[in-house]
Amino acid sequence: MNENNGSFINVLISAFSGDTWAIVAPAIGQTIYMTAMTTIFTFIFGIALGIVLITTDKSGLHPMPIFSKILGSLVNMLRSLPSMILIILTLPLSRLFIGVSYGPQACIIALVASCVPMFGRLVESSILEVPKGKLEAAKSMGTPNHKIIFKVLLPEALPSLVRNFTIAVIAIISTTALAGSFGAGGLGDVAVRFGYTRFKTDILIAAVLVLVILVELIQFAGDRYSRHISKKRYLL
């Protein structure tokens, strides 16, 4: 239903009807699946990328200035590409690895490639917030580099990492909605294919409502956990 064949109130009521949610409900599962899988890979590779960026910097634990500049330039190049372009460029990789270039599984590679550079920079930013005094104290006691990273830098940066990870997960949700335009499925696909192309405003409203609820829940959970950590450390 759209506003051309009914009032806005009727369209709003139709957005909560059984027929509308019969279309939207399966897409919720696809979106959650894409978000969860992309989040796992983004967390793993993003943390690793952030650590490499911070440790190979000229003032890092293991300075490699030339490598750091090349890696930083590559990360910046990937971040400069719009998500839509990056998804188009990486879809052939999905065909190479899993044999198809459409559906939720096919777009996970594209989503990870789009989100890892962003989260890697956020991890780098969080680690840079750790007071230099704690890092110098660990160095003065002869602590090995890997212990400084996992026993000092990451634990001290945890509240900031949680906040930035929350930002990354929300960005992943928005990117999954965009990927729906390229055959990924999910709420983005439903919003475009039914809500926009077929002018079914009620389905569009329902899809947007679910996306808003998902984002609010993730933001709420991230804020609560970050505040919990800060309170335990008497930072609040």
> Under a CB-based contact definition with an 8 Å cutoff, are residues 87 and 182 in contact?
yes
pLDDT of residue 5: 59
Going by the DSSP 8-state scheme, the letter that residue 57 receives in this structure is S
State if pTM tops 0.85: yes
Q: pLDDT at position 223, please?
A: 92
Residue whose entry in the numeric block shows the structure tokens 């003065």: 140
For residue 143, give the amino acid letter: T
At 94, give phi and psi (nearest 5°): -65, -40
CA distance 106 to 192: 19
- Virtual torsion, Cα 154, 159, 165, 170, nearest 10 deg: 180
Q: pLDDT at position 108, please?
A: 85
The pLDDT tens digits of the residues spanning 157-175 come to 999 999 999 999 999 998 8
Q: What is the pLDDT of residue 76?
A: 92
Both tokens of 23, joined, read: 């279309």
Q: Is the pLDDT of residue 1 over 70?
A: no
- pLDDT-based confidence at 210, cuts 50/70/90? very high
**Mean per-residue pLDDT for 177-184?**
79
Q: Whole-angstrom Cα distance, residue 90 to residue 86?
A: 6
Cα distance between the two ends of the chain: 49
- Report the pLDDT value the prediction gives residue 234, as an integer from 0 to 100: 60
> Quick check: 71 and 58 in contact, CB under 8 A?
no
Render pLDDT for 87-143 as a digit per residue (tens, 0 to 9).
788 777 777 777 776 777 778 888 888 899 999 999 999 999 888 888 888 888 888
CA 37 to each of CA 18, 108, 132, 173: distance values in angstroms, whole numbers, following the listed order: 29, 7, 35, 11
Query: Model confidence over 29-80: pLDDT tens digits?
Result: 999 999 999 999 999 999 999 999 999 998 888 889 899 999 999 999 988 8
**What does the pLDDT read at residue 216?**
96
Closest by CA to 98, choosing from 37, 29, 153, 44, is 37
Scan for tokens 């077929």, then name that residue: 198
**Domains identified in the chain and CATH numbers:** 8-232 (1.10.3720.10)
Local confidence band at 3 (pLDDT 50, 70, 90 cut-offs): low
Mean pLDDT on 10-18: 80
Q: What is the pLDDT of residue 55?
A: 92
How many CA within 13 A on the CB side of residue 187? 26
| Residue 229 pLDDT > 80 | yes
- Torsion (CA) 224, 230, 233, 236 in degrees, nearest 10: -110
